[in-house]
C-alpha cells in the first residue's frame, strides 16, 4: 500500500514573502549557518557554545575556535578543528594556585 501524499495549502502571500526573503544573500548565508549549527549540534550531541577558546587552534596561529559543551560538562568539542577536549575543573584557593605556579616556574 502506498500512501497518498498529503496536500497542504500554503498562503501564496507567505510563499512570495519567503521567496523574496531568499533573494537576499545575507538571509541565505544566515540560513546556511543555522543549518550548519544544527547539523553540528546533532552530530556531536552538544548543546551550546562555551566562552572557552580552543587551545589547539590558538597554537596554530589562528584565532581560537569556540568550544561547545558535550554531553556532560567536562567534554568540549571545537567547532573549527573538531578536536574533542576533556577539561577537569578543580577548586583550589588562590594561595594554593600561586604556590603551584611559583614551583612550576623554578
pLDDT at 2: 66
One-character DSSP codes across 26-57? HHHHHHHHHHHHHHHHHHHT---EEEEE-HHH
With a pLDDT cut of 70, the percent of the chain lying above it is: 94
For 1-9, the CB contacts below 8 A with 24+ separation are: none
Q: Residues 37-69: pLDDT tens digits?
A: 899 999 988 988 888 888 888 876 777 788 998
pLDDT at 68: 92
Sign of the Cα torsion 58, 84, 67, 82 reads: positive
pLDDT at 39: 92
Residue 90, C-alpha cell as written in the block: 578543580
Cross-strand pairs, 38: none
Amino acid at each position: 500500500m502506498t500512501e497518498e501524499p498529503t496536500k497542504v495549502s500554503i498562503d501564496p502571500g507567505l510563499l512570495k514573502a519567503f521567496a523574496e526573503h531568499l533573494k537576499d544573500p545575507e538571509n541565505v548565508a544566515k540560513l546556511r549557518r543555522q543549518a550548519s549549527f544544527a547539523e553540528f549540534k546533532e552530530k556531536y550531541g552538544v548543546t551550546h557554545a562555551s566562552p572557552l577558546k580552543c587551545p589547539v587552534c590558538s597554537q596554530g596561529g589562528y584565532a581560537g575556535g569556540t568550544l561547545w559543551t558535550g554531553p556532560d560538562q567536562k567534554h568540549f568539542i571545537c567547532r573549527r578543528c573538531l578536536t574533542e577536549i576533556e577539561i577537569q575543573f578543580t577548586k583550589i584557593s588562590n594561595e594554593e594556585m600561586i604556590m603551584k605556579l611559583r614551583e612550576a616556574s623554578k
